[in-house]
Amino acid sequence: MKRRIVVSVASVAFCLGGLVVTQAGAATRTVSASGGSVSFTASVRNAKTCGWSSSPEIAGFAKTVKCKTGTVSRSARFTANTSTTAKSYAVILIVRGKTATVDHWKVTQAGETSPTTTTVPVYAIGATQQVQDMNKNTLAVTIAQLIDPATGTDEFNQPNAGYRFVAVDMGLSNQSTGTISDDANVDVDVIGTDNQAYPADFDSVAECTNFSYGEFTLLPGGTESGCVVFQLPSGVNAKLVQFSLGYGYLDVAQWTVTP
């Protein structure tokens, strides 16, 4: 005779010829995409062996041990799921005595979340791109050239040992009805071939001037040109030039540097 005994909301007992297995805890478990350990516990009575297995196989989990009456437990370690698709596992406990009974747990592992990315158009040096300030005023930015290496104006304006000056020569044009003011030394970054972002350096170079110490104010229809100077390591070339008003929190324009 086979009968089912309800032990609690989260545990069910099966009785087969005096052999009893009571699963403790929820029958369905979850684990994050980064992985982790999950424990499975059951109470058994009148048992001889307890065999643990899984489908698909979980490394190092399968094992058969002697057991009688009491609590049996086993932990499974799940590695990171680098797929964006969730994975499902069945954890199986086979308890043998005079008869045999099988208990199951289901484990669902979340998939890795796909990052949300925004594609920024990249243009060649010489192209003009438009960005806006927080008041929706439009500024046209033209990267005229990349001066590499640039020359310091005097003995006090020299790059650090192992570095060189690189200057971004650009023109700005206010194409709105409002005044645009900002700091070019803050607005421009150079991305190196080492994928590092390099902020502006405040030295002066002979090839061009740094606006008014980086600052510019353009009335409607106004234009201005100048340079922003950087220091790059000797073994690193410029890969991208980026411009953004408002400390990088607004539109971002990019230019690629052709070797």
Q: What is the pLDDT of residues 226-259, one digit of tens each?
A: 999 999 999 999 999 999 997 666 789 999 997 6
**Domain coordinates in residue numbering, the chain:** 3-109, 122-256
- Separation between Cα atoms, residue 210 and residue 169, nearest integer Å: 9
Peptide bond into 233 cis (omega under 30): no
- Determine the topology of domain 3-109 in CATH: Immunoglobulin-like (2.60.40)
What percent of the chain clears pLDDT 90, i.e. is strictly above it?
58
Amino acid identity for residue 125 in this structure: I
Does 3-109 match 122-256 in CATH topology? yes
Pick among 3.40.50.150, 2.60.40.1240, 3.30.565.10, 3.40.190.10: CATH of 122-256: 2.60.40.1240
Q: What is the pLDDT of residues 1-59, one digit of tens each?
A: 444 433 332 333 333 345 667 766 668 888 898 889 999 998 888 899 999 999 889 99
Give the global pTM: 0.55
- Label residue 156 left, alpha or beta by phi (over 0 means left) and psi (-120 to 50 means alpha): alpha
- Residue 115, pLDDT > 80, answer no
Query: What number is the average pLDDT over the span 103-127?
Result: 80
